Each structure stands twice: as structure tokens, then as C-alpha cells.
Amino acid sequence: MKTFVVAAGLAAASISPAFAQDAKRIEALEARIKVLEASAAQMQKQAADAAEALKAAQAEIDELKHAAPAEATAAAPEDAPEAQAEAPAEGVASAEDATAPASADATSPNAFNPAISIILNGQYAHHSLNPDDYVRAGFPLAGDAGPGPQGLSLGESEVAFSSNIDDKFYGQLTLTVHNEDGEDHVGVEEAYIDTTSMPDGFSLRAGRFFSNVGYLNSHHPHTDKFADRPLPYQAFLGNQYGDDGVQLRWVAPTDLFFELGGEVLRGQNFPSGGAGHAGTGVKTAFAHLGGDVGIENSWLAGVSVLKSQTDGAEDGFRGDETLWIADATWKWAPGGNTKDGGIQLRSEYFREDRDGLYVDALDPAFNQLWSGQRSGAYVEGVWRINRLWETGYRYDKLWGDNEGPYASTFDPYRHTLMAAWRNSEFSMIRLQVSHDKPNGTDTDNTVTLQYQTSLGAHGAHKF
Amino acid sequence: MKKQIVALLMLGLFAGNAAAAKLKVFACEPEWGALVQEVAGDKVDLSVGTSALQDVHQIDAKPSLIAKVRQADLLVCTGADLEVGWLPQLIRQAGNARVASGPGYFMADDQVATLDRPSKLDRAAGDIHPQGNPHIQLDPYRVLKVANALEMRLASLDAANAAEYKKRLGDFTTRWQAATKRWEAKAAPLKGKKIVVHHISWVYLEKWLGLQEIGALEPKPGVPPTSGHLSSLIATTKSAGTYAIISAAYQDPKPARWLSDRTGVPAVVLPFTVGGDAQSKDLFGLYDSTIDKLLGAAK
């Protein structure tokens, strides 16, 4: 520092006008250099003082840091390794008050990476009825409906990226890996943007997403309480209806939660098909109401309708379809702590009207009238025993049509029991047994053991 | 043209309503609700999302909360990822641009420096908070810093009442600083005392009062302890001359009682936040009760 100042001074002196012999000038410069030197010395002293203070503070911190384990060690020698191992395990960086709350990674280009969360799951299932021979009376298996594979299998693994795009948009991409006949396929399950800055409670979503009809449809399966979707979801929505489209939602400025919305979707996937009506084959509308009763009870109920102009669905349907869904959820938790105990009840009712034709995919000349009604419902109750354990029961049933291409007089039903153990919010192991009557002659008794984990960004789940 | 006039009229109506109505504040936790109450009094409409008997790490994004966030002009929450499991969902579902980011989004932990920033991020250590320990409400100095920042935020959002906020903050500061001195004098005997905690949510209180944490029943956040850990904790608690075993009002008192029964060290349930016991009606009561109960452990 000092040498630099002197050098700078000398340089200044040498550049100064050629007539530097002027004694007065040199004197003035010398005086200035002295002043500069003095201030440099002062700065050095200040820096040294600061360093010393920092050292003292560091020593104090270290003393504090070491005090606890050292004393514990002295007091309980047999626990010494444990106590020592614990101190770092708590991950204390001992950031003192002076540390600014800014992140150290802020300068790295990765700082803007979206939040990444990964769902990993797998299962072992034993079916008493060979899944290849499984026939559901009145309801052909379309979409992802069906009993699931026999034996060991990897569930749907999922990677989701999400982030604010800018001050007006939020984006999310969910990729899934699933296995079809021994081959792995990567699919885009969801890829959408949401507006975050529309006024008055409106928000718009565009892209590929799960429709907001009903209760379970917009929920990812890893948040479900059972290992598979209820029969009505399998029969009427192919497990879960997602498609390309736009959605407008409005939340009312009321104390009671009230949400209204509608969607226009492509109509590519079951229950639709063929992207009819020039690629806008499906329209939906939904309304949800919700609130609390005291601090221990909360509820959510809704009505939704899905209308599809179907141009060749997986089950051979061509024509107009209207699906009504009513859903109701009630949660009770002691003290409002849903993760430590409580009961959750849910029921949904489906009613489907079809007006069109059944057209054989292999032989389009073969067709017959298909107009009629079918319906389905499920009720489930889950008891959260404590933070680790929960158990639940579900009953689901379908009512087929007595006429038409899938005429049936038998109504399929199923009983399901499950128990789940959670080590943390991020991991769960579930055992499920079910007794399924898919048709008049067969019974499928199933035992499923499943693990489900999430890693990466901490998820925030819907009610 | 007619349509435009109607639109303008409606806009005027909305704007008129906004100007006449009180600022709506949503506080995620009771301690910040109490602080808003101190600084803003009845100049704002306050709603509090959780109670002292709830574990704020684990809240459902329930419909009633979405409805509250939908109506809010200002969110006052802890931040530092404490509410990461529910607040982002509430904000996204509420469709309320006023609080999604910017001035309507006030996080207490952004106003102060946090302690215990993990040097290593690994979920094997449990549900750790990358931004440090978020539970700052039991450090009076940090609370005062938050109060100052909150007053500035309120004044910028609601200029009409800025003078009132300033006056109330001045009044609060005087009372708070006097109370802090009183608490520090009263709590002097606690200095250097060793405690075992349920969850590591007391670091700010410990640092302030000079308490020394020698162990935790649940050392990894969100992960239940192993039996090996618990048995070693009995030995540590017994031999270290532990003063008390601390848990919060919202936590299951059984593990602390279990350890107390086996070690003879008293278990103390502290309110943790406003509303955690009968005495903790406001922030002052919270601190009074916390110190009284800690001192009471000696008897």
C-alpha cells in the first residue's frame, strides 16, 4: 500500500510539467505524499485492528462451538464418539449475526436452475387373477385403467422441474418414465405455464396439464392414499385425464373458499380421442367450495362437468359425451395437526351420458348405436394414527349399462384396505390388500407392497 | 364506447373500495400476527393462518387458507423455507398477484441473519432448512429488527396510516427494550444451564439467554429418533447435570416426559409462540411465560 502510494506520487511528479525544478511545486507534492502516506498508514492500522477484532470474535465463536461437545465428552466418556459425531451432524455452520443472508451461490449460473423434484416408486403385487385375463364387465379398460402388473415392477418415476419464469409467469414440466411391455418410455406428463399476475383472483394456465375436474384428477398419484386409482377414475377418465389445453380459474374474494373455472382441451386422450372439433374436443367447467369448521375440521366440495366431442376414443366411441362429477372431502385432525393424527373422508360420484356410435377400430364398417348412461362412485376413509402410521379403507363401485356395445347386468365393485408407514415426509412404504369383483365370474384378490419416495425440492401439496 | 365507460366506472369502483378498505394482512404464524397487532393495531384487518398448537412445518394448504391469502394485501410469514410445504401452494392457488411477490410478500427471516446455516445439505440429516434455523421469534433483538422492517413495509403499502404505524412502532420499541432489560435481568440465573430439547427450534433463545443445548430428542428434523440415540441421550442427560428438557406446546409431550422419567430432569413445556399457553396472549406474555417456566424448572 505504502509503496504504491509513493510510486504513484513519483509517477505524478515525473509527469508534472518539465519545469519541475520549481521548488515550490516539489515541496507541495512532498507535502501531499506525506499526507497520503499518513492516511495509508492509518488505513493499514484500521485494517489490522479489524482483523484482530475478527480474530477475537472467531476465537469466541470457536470457544462456544467447542464448549458443548467438550463438556459432554468429559461428562460422559462412554458417549464420546456419539457426542462428537453429533455436533457436526447438526450441520451448524455457526454463521454469526454479521453474515449477510445472501446466498453464496448467487453468482453461479446454476442459481437460476428451476426446482427439481423426483418421485421414485416401485412395487410388488400379487394378483389371484392373471391380469391378462382381467375383464371389467360393462367397462373396457382404456387409458391406464386396469389391475396393474403381476409381480415386481417399477412404478411411474417422475421428474418435475418448476420455477417462476419472470414476474408474470410460472412454469412446470413433469416427465415420467413408464414401462410398457418391457420397454421404457419417457413421456411429457405435464408441461404448462401459469400466470401469476392477473388481477382480481384470475389465473390462466396453458400447455399440457391434468384437468381440474373432480378431486383426485388434478392430484399426482404419489399424493394418493391408495396404491391405485378408484374404479370410477379408471372407468371414466382412464385413471387420470390430462391433455393439451388452456384453463381459466377464478377465486372469489370471500372468506369461504370459492373457485370457478373452465378448460378447453385438445381431446386427444381418453375419455376423448381423435382431437375432435378441430383439436378442441373437450370442454370442462368446475366449481369448488371449501372452508373450516372450528380449527380441527376442514372440508372441500365441488361439482364438475366434462363435455367431449369424441372422434374415436380408445373404447370405440364416437359422438358426444357428458361426464358429471361431484366430490366431497372432509378432514379432521386433533389440534389441526393433520400429520400427527386425524381422519380423512372422501367420496366422489361420477355419471356419464353418451350419445353416439360404437365403431370397431379394425372394421369401421361394423358399428352400432351407443347411447346410454353409466355411473360410478367411491368412498374412502383414512385414519392417520400418528406421524408414522396411517391406515385406510376404500369401497368403489361401477354401474354399467344394460344396453349398447358393452351391455352388462353385473356391476363391478371392490374393497381395499391399506396401511402405510412413513419414515419422514419424503419416504413411505405401503401394504395394500384388495378384493375386486370385476365381473360376474372372476375375483381378483391382490396384495401390493409399495415404496414411494420424493427427493429434491420440497414439494408443496394441494389440500 | 359504452363498454369502455362501464369498464372505467367499474375500475373506479374497485379503486375506490381499495382506498376505503383497511389493509388486509395475513400472518402465517401467531408471533407475526402479534407483531402486526403491535405495529398496526386496528389500522389493518388481520388474519392468522395457524395456531400455537399446530406444527407450522406441517400445515395443509387447506381451502380456508387459500381464501385468506386470496384477500390479503400483505403476507407476514417466517420465511427461510419454514412454510415451504404449504405457503407456495397457497400463493399459487389463490391467484392474488398482490402477495405473490414484491411488497406484499414480507418474510421475517429475510430481515435478519439466521443461525445454523447447514454447511452440508443432505436429507440424510432430516428435513433441514438450507437458509438456517427459521425460528427467530424468541430473540428479542431480532424481533425488534423485524418490527422495524415491518413498519416500513406497512407505511409503504398504506401511506395514509404511516404516521400511526410510526407512532405505534416507537411505543412498541420503548416497551420492548425496557422489557428486554427486565427479562435479561430475570433470566440471569439461567446462564450456562444445560438443556435437552425436543426439536432444534430454540437456538435463538439459547443464544440470547446463554443456555447450552447438549442434546435433542429429535436431532434430525422430521425424522423420528432411533432407540440407540434415545438410550445414549439418557446417559448424556443424566451425567451432564442437565437443567431441563424443553419441548414446545405444539409438540407431543410424551418423548420429553419419557426422558424426564428416566433421568429425573424436569420436562418443561414452553409456549414457543403467542397462544402457546394462557399467559402468552401477546409477545410480552410469550417472553414472560417462557422465562417464568424456565426459572420454574429449578423448583
Q: Residue A37: in which H helix or E strand, if any?
A: helix A23-75
Which residue does chain A place closest to B207, by CA atoms? Answer: A64
Q: Is the pLDDT of residue A438 over 50?
A: yes
Give the integer Cα–Cα distance in Å for A344 and B60: 12
Strands lying side by side in the sheet with B212-216: B212-216, B194-197, B244-248, B267-270
Give the integer Cα–Cα distance in Å for B72 and B94: 10
Q: Smallest Cβ distance to A86: which of B61, B66, B219? A: B219
Q: Is the pLDDT of residue A45 over 70?
A: no
SS3 B14: helix
List of chain B residues whose C-beta atoms are within 8 Å of the C-beta of residue A293: none
Q: Smallest Cβ distance to B86: which of A82, A388, A460? A: A460
Q: Smallest Cβ distance to B222: which of A96, A424, A460? A: A424
Q: What is the reported pLDDT for B89?
A: 94
Task: Return the closest-CA partner of residue B293 out of B222, B227, B202.
Answer: B202
Which residue does chain A place closest to B112, by CA atoms? Answer: A101
Q: The cell 432448512 sits on which residue?
A: B129
> pTM of the entire structure?
0.82
Give the integer Cα–Cα distance in Å for A317 and A322: 13
| CA distances (Å), origin B138, targets B53, B112, B132, B146 | 17, 13, 15, 12
Q: Is the pLDDT of residue A85 over 60?
A: no
Whole-number percent of chain B with pLDDT over 90: 77
Q: The cell 362437468 sits on which residue?
A: A305
Which residue does chain B place closest to A341, by CA atoms? Answer: B252
Contact between chains at A460 and B224 (C-beta distance less than 8 A): no
Task: Report yes or no: B188 and B180 within 8 Å, Cβ to Cβ.
Answer: no
β-bridge pairing A169-180 and B194-197: unpaired
Whole-number percent of chain A with pLDDT over 90: 63
Give the integer Cα–Cα distance in Å for A283 and A309: 9
At a CB cut-off of 8 Å and minimum separation 6, what does A13 contact? A20, A26, A29
Min Cα–Cα distance to chain B from A174, Å: 17
Q: What is the reported pLDDT for A160?
A: 94
Contact between chains at B236 and A72 (C-beta distance less than 8 A): yes
Give the integer Cα–Cα distance in Å for A28 and A37: 14
At a CB cut-off of 8 Å and minimum separation 6, what does B152 contact? none
Q: The cell 412395487 sits on which residue?
A: A123
Give the integer Cα–Cα distance in Å for A160 and A118: 6
Asked if the C-beta of B72 comes within 8 angstroms of chain A's C-beta atoms, the answer is no
Q: Give Rg (Cα) of chain A.
A: 33
List of chain A residues whose C-beta atoms are within 8 Å of the C-beta of residue B223: 423-424
Q: What is the reported pLDDT for A398?
A: 97
Could you state, in order of their start, the residue ranges of all structural domains in chain A? 2-75, 119-456
Q: Name the amino acid, one letter, at A33.
A: I
Give the integer Cα–Cα distance in Å for B131 and B116: 8
Q: The cell 370457478 sits on which residue?
A: A260
Task: Report yes or no: A392 and A380 within 8 Å, Cβ to Cβ.
Answer: yes
The residue among A110 and A85 whose pLDDT is bigger is: A110
Q: Smallest Cβ distance to B67: which of A72, A90, A254? A: A254
Task: Report yes or no: A384 and A338 within 8 Å, Cβ to Cβ.
Answer: yes
Convert the pLDDT of each residue in A342-394 to its tens digit.
999 999 999 999 999 999 888 888 889 999 999 999 999 999 999 899 999 99
Contact between chains at A338 and B241 (C-beta distance less than 8 A): no
Report how many helices (DSSP H) and strands (DSSP E) chain B contains, helices first.
Answer: 11, 8
At a CB cut-off of 8 Å and minimum separation 6, what does B208 contact? B138, B139, B140, B141
Stretch A318-322: mean pLDDT, rounded? 96
Asked if the C-beta of B236 comes within 8 angstroms of chain A's C-beta atoms, the answer is yes
| CA geometry: angle B297, B57, A213, nearest 5 deg | 150
Contact between chains at A79 and B235 (C-beta distance less than 8 A): yes
Q: Is the pLDDT of residue B294 over 70?
A: yes
Give the integer Cα–Cα distance in Å for A356 and A371: 6
Q: Is the pLDDT of residue A55 over 80?
A: no
Q: What is the reported pLDDT for A83?
A: 36
User: Which of left, alpha, beta for B275 (phi over 0: left; psi -120 to 50: alpha)?
Assistant: left
Q: Smallest Cβ distance to A101: which of B63, B114, B240? A: B114
Task: Return the closest-CA partner of residue A123 out of A216, A222, A220.
Answer: A222
Give the integer Cα–Cα distance in Å for B264 and A160: 50
Q: Report cis status (omega within 30 of 0) of the bond before A271.
A: yes
Q: Is the pLDDT of residue A56 over 80?
A: no
Stretch B162-171: mean pLDDT, rounded? 97
* Region of poorest pLDDT, from A176-180, A226-230, A421-425, A442-446: A176-180
Give the integer Cα–Cα distance in Å for A451 and A110: 31
Asked if the C-beta of B95 comes within 8 angstroms of chain A's C-beta atoms, the answer is yes
Quick one: A119-456 is in which CATH superfamily? Porin (2.40.160.10)
* Residue B106 bridge partners (DSSP): B76
Cell triple for residue B255?
Answer: 418423548
Q: What is the reported pLDDT for A41?
A: 65
Contact between chains at A68 and B96 (C-beta distance less than 8 A): no
* Residue A351 bridge partners (DSSP): A324, A375
User: Which of left, alpha, beta for A207 (phi over 0: left; psi -120 to 50: alpha)?
Assistant: left
Q: Where are the alpha helices (H) located in A170-279, listed in sequence order?
A: 231-237, 276-279
The residue among A26 and A252 whose pLDDT is bigger is: A252
Min Cα–Cα distance to chain A from B112, Å: 7
List of chain A residues whose C-beta atoms are within 8 Å of the C-beta of residue B235: 76, 78-79
* Residue A185 bridge partners (DSSP): A178
Task: Return the closest-CA partner of residue B75 out of B97, B107, B45.
Answer: B107
Q: What is the reported pLDDT for A69?
A: 40
Q: Where are the alpha helices (H) located in chain B, listed in sequence order?
A: 2-20, 30-40, 63-71, 87-94, 97-100, 140-157, 162-186, 203-209, 227-239, 254-263, 283-296
Cβ pairs A/B, distance under 8 A: 200
Which residue does chain A place closest to B200, by CA atoms? Answer: A90
Q: Is the dihedral of CA A442, A445, A449, A452 positive or negative?
A: positive
Task: Report yes or no: A303 and A215 within 8 Å, Cβ to Cβ.
Answer: no
Residue A101 confidence class, pLDDT cut points 50, 70, 90: very low
Task: Report yes or no: A20 and A13 within 8 Å, Cβ to Cβ.
Answer: yes
Task: Return the closest-CA partner of residue B90 out of A299, A461, A167, A249.
Answer: A461
List of chain A residues whose C-beta atoms are within 8 Å of the C-beta of residue B92: 170, 194, 196
Q: Name the amino acid, one letter, at A311.
A: D
Asked if the C-beta of B275 comes within 8 angstroms of chain A's C-beta atoms, the answer is no
Select from B66, B223, B251 the residue whose CB has the most chain A CBs within 10 Å, as the one to mutate to test that interface.
Answer: B66
Q: The cell 367447467 sits on which residue?
A: A285
The residue among A413 and B224 whose pLDDT is bigger is: A413
User: Which of left, alpha, beta for B270 (phi over 0: left; psi -120 to 50: alpha)?
Assistant: beta
Stretch B58-76: mean pLDDT, rounded? 96
| CA distances (Å), origin A394, targets A142, A217, A298 | 22, 17, 20
**Domains of chain B, earliest start first:** 11-113+122-182 (3.40.50.1980), 187-296 (3.40.50.1980)
Cell triple for residue A280?
Answer: 378442441
Give the integer Cα–Cα distance in Å for A448 and A125: 4
First to last CA, chain A: 63
Contact between chains at A458 and B116 (C-beta distance less than 8 A): no
What are the backbone angles phi and psi of residue A12, rounded to the nearest 5°? -60, -40
Give the integer Cα–Cα distance in Å for A355 and A361: 18
Task: Return the closest-CA partner of residue A269 out of A342, A190, A171, A358.
Answer: A190
Give the integer Cα–Cα distance in Å for B93 and A403: 43
Contact between chains at A257 and B66 (C-beta distance less than 8 A): yes
